[in-house]
Amino acid sequence: SQTIHQWPATLVQPVGSPLSLECTVEGTSNPNLYWYRQAAGRGLQLLFYSIGIDQISSEVPQNLSASRPQDRQFILSSKKLLLSDSGFYLCAWSARQRTNEKLFFGSGTQLSVL
Amino acid sequence: AQKITQTQPGMFVQEKEAVTLDCTYDTSDPSYGLFWYKQPSSGEMIFLIYQGSYDQQNATEGRYSLNFQKARKSANLVISASQLGDSAMYFCAMRELMFSGGYNKLIFGAGTRLAVHP
């Protein structure tokens, strides 16, 4: 069966520090991968999606970047964090080339930038 | 632009009763998909139910059913026989138009917080 791992679960970082959040998927190949952010009490906003290795698309301009060095690995990064980067970050995957396929989410990372 | 609206920030229901969570959407795409996810306090997003725009029947999954009214552009979630464990945030989401590469971009509503009382 497929599983998705996301870490760390919580992170407290000072403003201006770098960031690296990692997500890996097991039990499937060629998944579509996604990074979402959820502000407190709000819905989810898509940040990045990827349909393959080194193929990243950004949905909104921001202080963050994403990379996919391996088929089942998706990394969210920042060189210098801003206060506004605080939030709950969720990684997700879906099966490639299957319309209306549901997204499977990781357990999320609560990021607090102080 | 596509949009999802959940007008109920919070709802409460008595245990064992049914509850309806509202969701309306706006799209000009004739082909779309609607999803409901549950987010307990742990933060994970749990898929509940899916409805395709061309599906003839309303979707059902155990105690969850989707009241799909296409002309009104609504996709309300009905939870029957509520349980204490149903207390969580519930999000309605819509699949955006598919582009080449076959990815599924979901846009989410703001969510409804459901509290089930004993």
Q: Which two tokens stand for residue B18?
A: 């049914």
**Banded model confidence at residue B75, pLDDT cuts 50, 70, 90:** very high
User: What are A112's strand-pairing partners?
Assistant: A12
Q: What is the pLDDT of residues B10-69, one digit of tens each?
A: 999 999 999 999 999 998 888 889 999 999 998 999 999 999 998 889 999 999 999 999
- Helix (H) or strand (E) segment spanning residue A93: strand A87-94
Q: Tell me whether A2 touches chain B (CB under 8 Å).
A: no
Q: What is the pLDDT of residue B99?
A: 55
In this predicted structure, the answer to whether residue A68 has a pLDDT above a threshold of 80 is yes
Q: Tell me whether A88 touches chain B (CB under 8 Å).
A: yes
Q: What is the pLDDT of residue A105?
A: 94
B111:A90 CB<8 A: no
Instruction: State how far residue B89 is from chain A, nearest Cα, in angstroms.
Output: 9
**Banded model confidence at residue B98, pLDDT cuts 50, 70, 90:** low
- How many pairs of residues across A and B have Cβ atoms under 8 Å apart? 70
Instruction: State how far residue B49 is from chain A, nearest Cα, in angstroms.
Output: 9
B104:A43 CB<8 A: no
> Please, what sign has the CA dihedral across residues A79, A84, A89, A91?
negative
Q: Which residue has the higher pLDDT, B54 or B97?
A: B54
Q: What is the pLDDT of residue A95?
A: 84
Find the CB nearest B47 among A42, A88, A102. A102
Q: How far is CA A76 from CA A39, A53, A63, B67, in A?
A: 16, 14, 11, 37
Q: What is the pLDDT of residue B106?
A: 86
Q: Which residue has the higher pLDDT, A91 or B55?
A: A91
Find the CB nearest A108 among B43, B47, B101. B43
**Banded model confidence at residue B104, pLDDT cuts 50, 70, 90:** low
Q: What is the pLDDT of residue B102?
A: 56
Find the CB nearest A103 among B43, B44, B106. B106
In this predicted structure, the answer to whether residue A47 has a pLDDT above a threshold of 90 is yes
Q: What is the pLDDT of residue A74?
A: 97
Q: What is the pLDDT of residue A89?
A: 96
Q: What is the pLDDT of residue A100?
A: 64
Q: What is the pLDDT of residue B2?
A: 67
Q: Which two tokens stand for residue A72?
A: 């089942």
**Banded model confidence at residue B97, pLDDT cuts 50, 70, 90:** low
Taking residues A14-39, report their average pLDDT. Answer: 94
B44:A105 CB<8 A: yes
Q: List % helix, strand, coil for chain B (3-state, nearest 5).
A: 5, 50, 45
A44:B33 CB<8 A: no
**Banded model confidence at residue A97, pLDDT cuts 50, 70, 90:** low
Number of other CB atoms surrounding residue A64 within 10 Å: 21
A88:B43 CB<8 A: yes
Instruction: State how far residue A89 is from chain B, nearest Cα, in angstroms.
Output: 10
Q: What is the pLDDT of residue B101?
A: 54
In this predicted structure, the answer to whether residue A98 has a pLDDT above a threshold of 80 is no
**Banded model confidence at residue B88, pLDDT cuts 50, 70, 90:** very high
Opening angle at CA B90, ends B84 and B93, nearest 5: 155
A107:B102 CB<8 A: no
Q: How far is CA B114 from CA B78, B91, B111, in A?
A: 12, 11, 10
